[in-house]
Structure 1
Amino acid sequence: MNAPHPAKVAGIDSTVPSPAHTVASAAPDASPVTGPAATSVAVGPDAPGALLQDRLAGWVSDLTTLHELTERLVRTDTLSEGLDEVLRAGAALVGARRGLVVLEPADGLGPDTTVGLGLGRADLGHLETVPRGCLSHGRILDGLPVGEDGVAEPDLLADKSLDPRHREVAARLGYAASYALPLSVEGTAASTAGTAASAGGAGVSAAGPRRLGAAVWFYDEPAEPGARPRHLAGLYTRYAAQHLARLLEVERTRTAMATMAGELLPSRLPRVSGVQLAARHRTGPLGGGDWYDALPLPDAALGLAVGSVTGSGPSAVAAMGRLRASLRAYAVMEGEDPVAVLSDLELLLRLTEPARSATALFGYCEPALRRITLAGAGHSPPLLVGERRTEFVETSVSAPLGMLACWEAPSVELQAEPGETVLLYTDGLLHRTGDPADRAFARLHAAAAGVPRAARHDPDAVAEHVLRTVLPGGKADADSAEDVVLLAVRFA
């Protein structure tokens, strides 16, 4: 029978550098100082000054390490970035190489996710096959009692009570020990209404610890963190949980606003003979008031609209929904006259929401004639993209809706050629570039002119190319106060 492996004591990983001012302990075999040098500071192991200096240096080192790690954590802006940083910092503190964090808020509102460090998707899948109650972090997630210093399993393969499936997975993934910590925060009055309302149903008091999830780190050999690394890891995860809770609320708000805005926009674009349609919509974490619409009208016509309501948050999203619904009604009644449609919309806005303004562009499209009659209110001009030309459509200069006592501006006609695409967009596409207006328009024009020839027959490919070219490097999907709407209309 093989004897159990003696567990190693894991310390702080060398990836977190010790500060240069840390003082080493005195040598245990140092001889007492005699003679004239006796007036110097004693360096023996029992000298109170040396012990105090060494202890203070250790405290300074620990505080510096925690400061560096928490500084890196607070620079994360999204929940996924925060979880990744917690894993990396925790691994450095407890001297591990791999780990995972499971986000599973006890209120049941989600999002539930698992993020691995040094573990692939297949490895995470293998771990999910182990009964949850057999895993240290699983016991934390199930609400079982856990000590303040976490759950250490220093030698899994020598543990006779280890579940056979857990033993098999540990051998497959090559880890022999683990250390897990809970991620929880104290419930406060600042919790969101949804969280507080659901806390009772989930069996979690809003005034007690609120579980967010659990983190676990794996060792390749039998080992466990010592008292100092456990203490530091505990301090770090308690702070990290507070930061993750804030990021979680932002993520929930972003998801709720995106869902609300998505429900108020077309669930699908209509199929109309003679044209193909594609759209892109990006909203910020607070939700915005940009919208688009494509509405089949009598006589095989099509109503096209894009617009933007001032402000952000739930009130702007609600105002956007009301304005879009009203525009649809006016389009059905008098869509062949875009000026009349926007005039009615301006009157409604001025009477019902006098403190709010909006920009809008409405077009009456006749696919059989490849013609669009346009009227705009303070909105950016459409962009016409074809094989032989890429140009902005000249529209009349006009004020946004709600800015003047009475709005009215002449309409213009756009005549397209077969295969040409008309791009309707909101100002957010230009604002997100961070460039001045003239450079932003030039960037948009260059992106449209650079659409590959093979992609020009597909409005979806055109819209995607323009969006990613105008907003490169993830700007299209990054958090921003500016919404983005892009509607592509290709004529057959």
Structure 2
Amino acid sequence: MLDIPSRVRVHVETLPAAQNDMGVCDAFEQNAPVGKPNTMNAPHPSKVAGIDATVPSPAHTVAPSPTAPGASPVTGPHAPGALLQDRLAGWVSDLTTLHELTERLARTATLDEALTELLRAGAALVGARRGLVVLEPGDGLGPAITLGLGLGRADLGHIETVPRSAMPFGRILDGLPDADAELASPDLFAEDGLDPRHREVAARLGYAASYALPLGTGPGDRVGAAVWLYDEPAEPGERQRHLAGLYTRYAGVHLARLVEVERTRACMATMAEELLPSRLPRVPGVQLAARHRTGPRGGGDWYDALPLPDAALGLAVGAVTGSGPSAVAAMGRLRASLRAYAVMEGEDPVAVLSDLELLLRLTEPARSATALFAYCEPALRRITLAGAGHCPPLLLGERRTEFVETSVSAPLGMLACWEAPGVELEAAPGETVLLYTDGLLHRTGDATDRAFARLHAAAAGVPRSVRQDPDAIVEHVLRAMLPDGLADADDAEDVVLLAARFE
């Protein structure tokens, strides 16, 4: 992971070895949160794999002083051998710490996680307590994120009132001449020409020095900048700067990769949402509500609601196998085709799905899909539906909560000729029909029978005070099935909920 030269060049100075005893590992241990032990702070073993005990003397190492004839060689802590051993021990400690920090950063999967880890690790390396990172890709396509360490939202708001050119991250991101590699301000209040607003904000927030580094894959490709703040006038030493530079160089590459992932994720989510209804239709006698959650790569789950002739309403949900752009595109084609078939022969859901199956088998023979189509007559509260390998709808009312009995059939594209009998049911006034995709069941992590039982319990547990509102019903069922943020978390499974309440 780290590009470390095969030959370690060490310059032995005549300073006491005690001045070199404290490595970055010790600094990181001092800056680690109290009460949270970390393997990084554990003492390192005396023997390190990959380190050869016999290190040849580098060309630029200071030559040992010649021993006078008859005099005993120099021994003790100031002997050249002891100095070299102390220096090598410091290098091993620093490289081990750097390896551990980059490993922790590599395990982050989102931009927020990576930026938080970057701030914590950088603060330990340079000996600071607070800091902030500004993510701002140079191409202007976003995302733009500002995150603080030890700084609240109000503190970041104060910093944003400082002119951009007066802040170190602004000079780095704008490519000013004095921001090529690093920007160190050992004593802000002693600087000539310090911006008055910057002086006021620094005094208000209580920092007196700063150290900033660029983040990116190269000099001309920056994605952001990181700034660490000191409570007192200070600056990192040469050893700390070197390690912080190596770390941020790797962090820049990692952040650039996560930026591309985030852009792809946002693009796929936008594409999937654009292929779904922008708004649900208003049809007399029925109220509609829907929820859709897509995974980071984009999936093939979809829903639809469209007005049909004779004051009827068509409801559909389905799922295409696979994920990613191809699945999203297939989902769009399948939904558009079903809308056309529904307008022509919607009163016969079996015919609609039969035509859809034929189209899928001829145009995309390597793909299968599940689907459910319901032809609703709101004035009569009558529903005729057919399903192809899809989960049965759930009927929710004041007197009953039960799954609709449907015929078992294979998904579309699995058989040479698909056909299954339809089902007709009549809803009571105030009852709600809930359609959904199997992603809702899979995201729970439970077995299928247990997931169905949880869905039934979630629907039965809808408070009576909100049963007249289909939007509140789908929200309650979604949160009951996927609690603790699981409904909004990234997951490979898409989720679709579509509710129709009959008046």
TM category (shorter chain) comes to 0.7 to 0.9
Letter of the 1:20 counterpart:
P
Mark the CA change 1:48 to 1:159 in structure 2 (over 3 Å): closer, same or farther: same
After the TM superposition, which residues 246-285 of structure 1 pair with which residues of structure 2 at under 5 Å, given as runs?
246-285=257-296
Letter of the 1:313 counterpart:
G
What does residue 237 of structure 1 align with? 248
Matched, 1:43 2:76: yes
Determine helix, strand or coil for the equivalent of 1:224: coil
Letter of the 1:64 counterpart:
T
Residue 210 of structure 1 is aligned with which of 194, 197, 221? 221
What does residue 458 of structure 1 align with? 469
> How far apart are residue 462 of structure 1 and its match?
1.5
> Which structure exhibits the higher relative contact order, with contacts defined as CA atoms closer than 8 Å and separated by 6 or more residues?
1
Matched, 1:56 2:88: yes
Cα offsets for 1:117-173 (capped at 9, x unmatched): 222222222211211111111000001245676211111112121011111111222
2:172 and 2:180 in contact (8 A); partners too: no
Mark the CA change 1:377 to 1:54 in structure 2 (over 3 Å): closer, same or farther: same
Residue 86 of structure 1 is aligned with which of 91, 98, 118? 118
Determine helix, strand or coil for the equivalent of 1:167: helix
Determine helix, strand or coil for the equivalent of 1:299: coil
Residue 329 of structure 1 is aligned with which of 316, 340, 360? 340
1:19 and 1:64 in contact (8 A); partners too: no
Determine helix, strand or coil for the equivalent of 2:379: helix
CA distance in 2, matches of 1:420, 1:71: 54
Residue 481 of structure 1 is aligned with which of 492, 495, 500? 492
Determine helix, strand or coil for the equivalent of 1:225: coil
> How far apart are residue 260 of structure 1 and its match?
0.5
Residue 123 of structure 1 is aligned with which of 136, 155, 174? 155
1:19 and 1:61 in contact (8 A); partners too: no
TM-align CA RMSD: 2.1
Residue 213 of structure 2 is aligned with which of 181, 203, 213? 181
Cα offsets for 1:18-45 (capped at 9, x unmatched): 442489xxxxxxxxxxxxxxx9994322
> How far apart are residue 300 of structure 1 and its match?
1.6
Mark the CA change 1:468 to 1:142 in structure 2 (over 3 Å): closer, same or farther: same
Determine helix, strand or coil for the equivalent of 2:202: helix
CA distance in 2, matches of 1:329, 1:222: 71
What does residue 288 of structure 1 align with? 299
CA distance in 2, matches of 1:477, 1:313: 19
Matched, 1:165 2:197: yes
CA distance in 1, matches of 2:31, 2:414: 58
Matched, 1:20 2:43: yes
What does residue 231 of structure 2 align with? 220
What does residue 198 of structure 1 align with? none
CA distance in 2, matches of 1:103, 1:484: 31
1:302 and 1:364 in contact (8 A); partners too: yes
2:77 and 2:83 in contact (8 A); partners too: no
Determine helix, strand or coil for the equivalent of 2:243: helix
2:307 and 2:313 in contact (8 A); partners too: yes
2:320 and 2:368 in contact (8 A); partners too: yes
1:149 and 1:231 in contact (8 A); partners too: no
1:18 and 1:61 in contact (8 A); partners too: no
Mark the CA change 1:21 to 1:402 in structure 2 (over 3 Å): closer, same or farther: closer
Mark the CA change 1:230 to 1:394 in structure 2 (over 3 Å): closer, same or farther: same
Matched, 1:442 2:453: yes
Letter of the 1:345 counterpart:
L
> How far apart are residue 347 of structure 1 and its match?
1.1
Q: TM-score, normalised by structure 1?
A: 0.87
Mark the CA change 1:224 to 1:322 in structure 2 (over 3 Å): closer, same or farther: same
* 413-422 or 127-136, larger mean C-alpha shift: 413-422
Residue 351 of structure 2 is aligned with which of 311, 319, 340? 340
After the TM superposition, which residues 186-201 of structure 1 pair with which residues of structure 2 at under 5 Å, given as runs?
186=218
Q: Where does structure 2 lack aligned partners over 5 or more consecutive residues?
A: 1-22, 33-39, 47-71
Determine helix, strand or coil for the equivalent of 1:223: coil
Letter of the 1:131 counterpart:
P
> How far apart are residue 407 of structure 1 and its match?
0.7
Letter of the 2:206 counterpart:
G
What does residue 310 of structure 1 align with? 321
Mark the CA change 1:407 to 1:52 in structure 2 (over 3 Å): closer, same or farther: same
2:387 and 2:406 in contact (8 A); partners too: yes
1:463 and 1:487 in contact (8 A); partners too: yes
Determine helix, strand or coil for the equivalent of 2:473: helix
Q: TM-score, normalised by structure 2?
A: 0.85
Determine helix, strand or coil for the equivalent of 2:240: helix
* 453-462 or 331-340, larger mean C-alpha shift: 453-462
CA distance in 2, matches of 1:40, 1:488: 90
CA distance in 1, matches of 2:45, 2:301: 56
Mark the CA change 1:429 to 1:257 in structure 2 (over 3 Å): closer, same or farther: same
> How far apart are residue 15 of structure 1 and its match?
3.2
* 14-23 or 291-300, larger mean C-alpha shift: 14-23
2:31 and 2:129 in contact (8 A); partners too: no
Letter of the 1:66 counterpart:
L
> How far apart are residue 373 of structure 1 and its match?
0.9
CA distance in 2, matches of 1:372, 1:123: 57
Letter of the 2:43 counterpart:
A
Letter of the 1:161 counterpart:
G
Residue 103 of structure 1 is aligned with which of 135, 139, 154? 135
Q: Percent identity among equivalent residues?
A: 81
